[in-house]
Amino acid sequence: MKRVFIALKVYPEGDLLRMISSLKALLGAENIKWVDPANIHLTLAFLGDTEEKRIKILTDILREKCTGFHEFEFVLAGTDIFKNFRDPRIIWIGIMYSEKLMMLNNMVKDGLRENGFIVEEREFRPHLTLGRIKSIRDTENLKSALERYRDKQIQSVHVSEVILFESILSQTGPIYKSLGNFPLS
């Protein structure tokens, strides 16, 4: 069994790196587990524990769905939290609506369903997780820090491939290992 997910890799650049650094500085007194910039990604589908023989089926699905789906771009914009400010859990950066991203997500999930994989049925809300909040003492400071970036476009992301990742949990945080890269060509 391998714990797997399908994602788009995001390579943080200038403004995104500065924003992350600024948030870390502004929220330095809080108990937040920040995502290593090298691990930032956009999850299309989280499949969890998957048998080795099913991983071959996954690679076939992704190869088929990605072939002929052309490269595209989307824009990172705005920050917020999941849950609410009384009980904040995740700090995230949003993604401006992208028809190509929505089409790719639907195509991948349809391929998974057609082959018997269980896929979350909730609405796709594309975002990048920046930090997981363990506890927060100053909610107003959190609101203020996020407000700085709420309506700002941060970075354009070029998408040229979909990646099947294995997530290996460790005490220092997850390690993401590529099990296959599927070019959009």
Residue 158 falls in the annotated catalytic set = no
Taking the C-alpha atoms of residue 28 and residue 42, their distance in angstroms, rounded to an integer, is: 25
Tokens representing 5?
């997910």
- C-beta separation of 92 from 130 below 8 A: yes
Q: Which of 2, 9, 41, 109 is catalytic?
A: 41
Q: How far apart are the first and last CA of the chain?
A: 30
Candidate list 47, 88, 127, 164, residue with the active-site label: 127
Q: Cα-flanking dihedrals φ and ψ of residue 18, to 5°? A: -65, -40
* Cα angle 168-78-185, degrees, rounded to a multiple of 5: 60
Does the active-site annotation cover 127? yes
User: For 114, what's the count of Cα atoms within 13 Å in the CB-facing half-sphere?
Assistant: 13
d(C-alpha 8, C-alpha 26), whole Å: 28
Name the residues annotated as catalytic. Answer: 41, 127
